[in-house]
Chain A
Amino acid sequence: MTEAPRKTRMGRRALMKSAALLTGAAALPGPASAQETPVKGGVLRYGLSVEPQRMNQLNTTWMTDATQHIYDRLVTRTPTGEYVPHLATWTTSADGLEWRFKLKPGIKFHSGDPVTSEAVRWWFEQAKDPKGFFGFKGSYSAVDSVAVVDELTTSVKLKQPDPNLPFILYTVYSSIHNPKTYARLGKDAYGVSGVDGTGGFKLKEFTPGDKLVIERNDAYAWAPPFVKNQGPPHLDGIVYRHFADDASRTAAIEAGDMDIIVQPTLADVDRLRANPNFTVISKPMPAARTMYFNTEVAPWNDKRVRQAIAHSIQRKPIIDRLLFGQGVEAYSIVPPTFKDMYLPDTTGYFPYNIAKAKALLAEAGLKDSDGDGFVEFQGKPWEPEMLVIALSEITQLAQVVQAQAARIGIKLKIVQLDGQSISARTLAGDFGILTGFYLWDGPDTIMDWWLYSGNIPATNRSRTRSPEMDKVIEQMRASTTLPERMTHIKAMQKLLHGDLCTIIPIYHPLDIYVISKRVHGYAPNSATLYPRMHDVWLAKA
């Protein structure tokens, strides 16, 4: 499975102390005049590129920005990448097998109910319930048992030490709910018609297809320590609207209908940057657009054929012309922003080289003997299908890839499908080559899912079966220190991009925010998936 659309931004299992991320963050410009005195009031209008989803992570893995602001987590992460207490402080036993979470006193749910250790216990039970729909219960696999110690204290016993637990508890997927409200509404309606969290904003209205409205929680007094505004948020509320079309989303902020939008039309980015009414912030997405092979289908099972394709890809024109410069060339699945993980050597493995590509094809027995300019396969004219998700960015990419493959004599046939059909076909193994993408803030996890033979076919849809790769992945999983883990992650890249070539990265897209000058204190950076709204305020018109 290669399409993990934007919405599936979850935490990763990685031991990512985030030093890497934060280097990126520091370089990003913040909106001007952020130092003026905040003004209270006003409703922020936010244009999304992805439809708002139900805000109940126990019943879906689809996520939406508002989830960040409606709920809090036990743990949070500072802009410098440390995991610090949010709703609770914690202590760890010497053997690392027991964690005790002690809630800060006085925290209340939106309904007014106090937050107690029972809610924490309930949360852990739900998360690890084998029959539950929680998509990330694997992350809780170390949890053995949970018990209430007193009104505010919860004890969590682990089967084995898990130094990654603070990260897991920090992601939006570990948001804390009021179990009473959850039971009252039922799991289908919870997160849709009502929520009961502790966040700085409360759910006001959710009309799918139209808008999602959240409003200030006036009782909020437990902001994370690194946030300037320790009281309730400055904003009265936020209206999220979804625009499926980039051009309309861009027009909406230019017309003054929106205060912030994500992902404007790429061709307009430079123009918007020059417009004094807006601040444009872009940061590399933890994502890559890739070519993806089914290694069980001939001739893609021959690594020389895959390598030939890798040599045929010319990335610069793709970024310049398709993305108007708004992208980063990718030679590894790991974006260069993940400095600790990224293996720079990958850029040299399969540079653009037509002659080499042709030689590899010839070696693999793919030759053009009828002189039509395209190679035959098993003596017959060959036009392999390339599945493409029907999104304009990806189909355009596929067309360029098609043209580039033609240079080495491979005639690709583009088959446009919707995400669901692609998913069904790749699960069934009914494909040869695919242009896809992932979006995940843990490229190490992606490699684990995509390449470990035990994950065939659920997440390893290329059906990569490499004993060496399996071994490296197992070592990575077992590593106990960060540097050790990083070594294995680099080894994985070396294997994948150096020889296996079952996945060819093409580019890393950018997250682009267009922010009206009315908006102050909004600072997207690589450290936060959903930029915080706590310090955001609107200048009076």
Chain B
Amino acid sequence: MADPVLDVRDLHVALHTRRGVIHAVDHVSLHIDPGETLALVGESGCGKTMTALSVIGLVPKPPGVIEGGQVLLGGDDLVPKSDEEMRRLRGDRMAMVFQEPMTSLDPVFTIGAQLMETLLAHRAISRADAHAQSVAMLKRVQIPEAERRMDNYPHELSGGMRQRVMIAIALLCRPDLLIADEPTTALDVTTQAQILELLRELRGEFGMALLLITHALGVVAEMADRVAVMYAGRVVETAGVEEIFANPRHPYTKGLLASIPDLADGQERLATIPGTVPNLLHKPPGCCFWPRCPIAEARCRAQEPALAELAPGHQAACWKASA
């Protein structure tokens, strides 16, 4: 098997806020192989976005501090890299699409300008070439009248169109890794399906690895090869997509799956596990899920379980999972 495109090892990102230290990414490890799609799931606030941002080097500093760990992109550790080195990688070898297409584009520049500047930032090409490539990419993400759209301002496009533009921008430089942070959450159902379909096609065509962050297990089922479940800044379970749906081992994962009324409806939010996400400022000792865990016992409260290989490619962090 080829080396992973992205290999995150024991990454620890803390946010030093005025109220205290938030361990938003708490010793996270994950990897994605070339062409593979890893779905990162978990309730709101569990650290998915922060994990993604630390990969592309956009953790807000302050308050964020990378406390430890490695982020290997094609075997090359990104953590010690300078700002300028990271800038060169961003948008070129790795790219990111954000959740809110309505606000993720600069409202006072044309679509064309925003596409072209990405290319011009990374490639020594003429403006004419940049223009041509941008138009081609717009066509590739199935934007009708691509040539004319180049001169449009973001507000003249629908949400779905804007997300296509975002995807086009991300893919312009043919990155090895695309991070999509809830790319469809803000869109209506039909558009969501179209965007997911587009992503699937493009992934096949460009052969890039995809880190797909989502709340929606329906999306996971459709898109992912493997799944990593995050809870309170930690990865609590990771496995192949079929395995996780068929055989969830962590009580949190089980809770997530149970909360889906209909797998086909990708909209359902994960909100039906009793209790709330722990305050990351005051994590409980032991397993951080125990306050909400139906099967917690004394040990869970005292000692933190580590990720343990339960089956090939299937890991979970639960004292009771191996039982």
A and B touch in the complex (CB under 8 A): no
